[in-house]
Amino acid sequence: MLDGLIHLRKGTVSSAPGFCLRFGVLPGLDEVLVSIFHAPASYTGEDMAEVSCHASGFIVAEFLRRLSDAGARIAEPGEFTRRAFLNGKIDLAQAEAVADLISSSSSAQHRLAFNQLRGGFSSELAKIREQLLELTTLMELELDFSEEEVEFADRSKLQELLDSAFSHCTRLADSFKVGNALRNGIPVAIIGAPNSGKSTLLNALLNDDRAIVSEIPGTTRDTVEETCVLGGILFRFIDTAGIRQASDKIERLGIERTLQKASRAEVVLGVFDVTGESFESAAQEIARLVDFESQKLIILANKVDISEANKNVNSSNNFVLPGDLQRVGVSVIPISAKEGLGLDHLKDSLISSVGQLSSADTLVTNERHAAALRATAASLATVRSGLSSGLPTDLLAEDLRSALSTLGTITGHITSDEILGEIFGRFCIGK
């Protein structure tokens, strides 16, 4: 097709060797460079050519018109990556990582997507699949020789393989909580009493007047969410309505949303006003909203720029946490959201609070993958239980085959056109 549209100085596009650039002319339109790739050493595994022309809207539109007249068509969303998957260049998990890589907006998101694209996640799945195949093979052999009552592996060996595969699946599935947070932004809820400085803090962290700030209590009646990148990690800050006994119906709804957001956050920033609140009672009130098994709480002693003039209330000697909060790792940071005091310390604390989690080699970031891993683990749990209770080998083998089938949907060993359509339909046009 390109041979009839582009004139090279020597030879034709179809006769040119792979992995080369050729200068060419689009008659009456432009001078171009043509990159040539031959199967199977191309992105899709097929013969390909990429044409680089000048960035004129007219030139691009006219060249596309000529291509269309010659029989070409616009690629569908994700078509190139779908072809790469269908031609065995990448598996389905790697294909999904392409979309994540394109949409990444922080170094942590990029690292996770790039690791998956390079096959890090797929290699973890391959280890599990290898264990399951070994288990299935041993059980299938026993079924073939069931009349001779031959055991090809003792039950302790089978139990050991099952335990290893089950724990591997569970660990990967459990990593989705962190992986999903890193992919979409670590949720950080800013909570506290009205007028404690929550909205001022949000604006200071974003370096933008995103939330309305007023001396009137109850100004924030709904949640305000914005993201920013700190230390290469995307954080999603959620400013919430002040917590108090409210008679106003709309404010009560806002407080209900505050409690919902606080329960789902990875990190809770509890803000209290050092000029008007009791530190210990404010800390305990905020702590009651936090699940220390899954959340981190940072208490922010705000407005220290005002309190510094009072020798009895200052940022260095007056914020001693109750013992029960110290034991669960709660920290206190004196700040002035208005003046920017202590914000660098706060940012460092936020980064360190998730830094160790984000440095893990393999994290599951896709809900489809997490669901498949949980289903695989459930099938393996059934096999473990059946093995312990002495169920017949044919029943155990059936559950193992189910586990293998479910695991295979992640990488595309087992898939359907419906799943492929849903996955690649979210890609940008072409890629």
C-alpha separations of 66 from 31, 72, 74, 161 in Å: 15, 9, 12, 60
Would you say residue 70 has pLDDT above 80? yes
pLDDT > 70? residue 395: yes
Which range is least confidently modeled, 177-181, 254-258, 340-344?
A: 254-258
Sequence-separated (6 or more) residues with CB below 8 Å from residue 424: 76, 77, 78, 79, 81, 82, 95
Q: Where are the domains of the chain?
A: 2-73, 94-175+365-424, 180-358
Percent residues over pLDDT 90 in the chain: 35
* Strands (DSSP E) found in 266-335: 267-273, 296-302, 331-334
Joined together, the tokens standing for residue 165 give: 């595969």
Q: Give the number of other CB atoms < 10 A from CB of residue 324.
A: 11
At residue 394's C-alpha, the angle toward residues 389 and 398, to 5°, is 95
- Select from 378, 280, 371 the least CA-distant residue to 330: 280
Look at domain 2-73 and name its CATH class: alpha beta
3-state secondary structure of 91: coil
CATH of domain 94-175+365-424: 1.20.120.430
| More reliable by pLDDT, 340 or 143 | 340
- As a whole number of angstroms, the distance between CA 90 and CA 84 comes to 6
Mean pLDDT, the chain, rounded, equals 83
User: What is the Cα–Cα distance from 53 to 55, expressed in whole angstroms?
Assistant: 6
Residue 59: the pLDDT is 96
**The predicted structure's pLDDT at residue 242:** 64
Q: pLDDT value at position 210?
A: 59
Q: Is 52 exposed, middle or buried (0-12, 13-18, 19+ CB in 10 A)?
A: exposed
Q: Give the burial class of 77: count Cβ atoms within 10 A of its Cβ; 0-12 exposed, 13-18 middle, 19 or more buried.
A: middle
d(CA 147, CA 34): 66
Report, at the CATH architecture level, how domain 180-358 is classified.
3-Layer(aba) Sandwich (3.40)
Across 333-360, average pLDDT: 82
Q: Judge if 94-175+365-424 and 180-358 fold alike in CATH terms.
A: no
Q: Number of helices (H) and strands (E), helices first, in the chain? A: 16, 10
Higher pLDDT, 126 or 360: 126
Q: Are 227 and 237 in contact (CB under 8 A)?
A: yes
Measured in residues, the chain has a length of: 431
Residue type, 397: A
pLDDT digit string, tens, across residues 184-195? 888 898 888 888
What string of DSSP letters covers 330-365?
Answer: -EEEE-BTTTTBTHHHHHHHHHHHHHHHHT-S----
- Give me the mean pLDDT over the 10-32 stretch: 93
Residue 270 φ/ψ, nearest 5 degrees: -95, 110
Q: How many CA atoms lie within 13 A of 189 on its CB side?
A: 29
pLDDT at residue number 214: 46
Instruction: Describe the strand order of the beta sheet including 267-273 as a list of residue ranges.
Output: 224-230, 233-239, 186-192, 267-273, 296-302, 331-334
Alpha helices in 118-154 (DSSP H): 120-144
> For residues 317 and 335, what is the distance between their CA atoms, to the nearest angstrom?
14
DSSP of 170-218:
HHHHHTHHHHHHHHH-EEEEEEESTTSSHHHHHHHHHTS--S---SSTT
Mean pLDDT to the nearest integer, 27-34: 96
Closest among 275, 346, 353, 351 to 314, alpha carbons compared = 275
pLDDT value of residue 221 = 46
For residue 279, which of 304, 261, 260, 250 has the smallest C-alpha distance?
Answer: 304
Pairing of strands 20-26, 30-37: antiparallel
298: phi then psi, degrees, rounded to nearest 5: -120, 120
- pLDDT, one tens digit per residue, over 146-159 is 555 555 556 777 88
Q: Report pLDDT digits (tens) over 83-132.
A: 999 999 999 999 999 989 988 888 888 888 999 999 999 999 999 999 88
User: Are 242 and 220 spatial neighbours (Cβ–Cβ below 8 Å)?
Assistant: yes
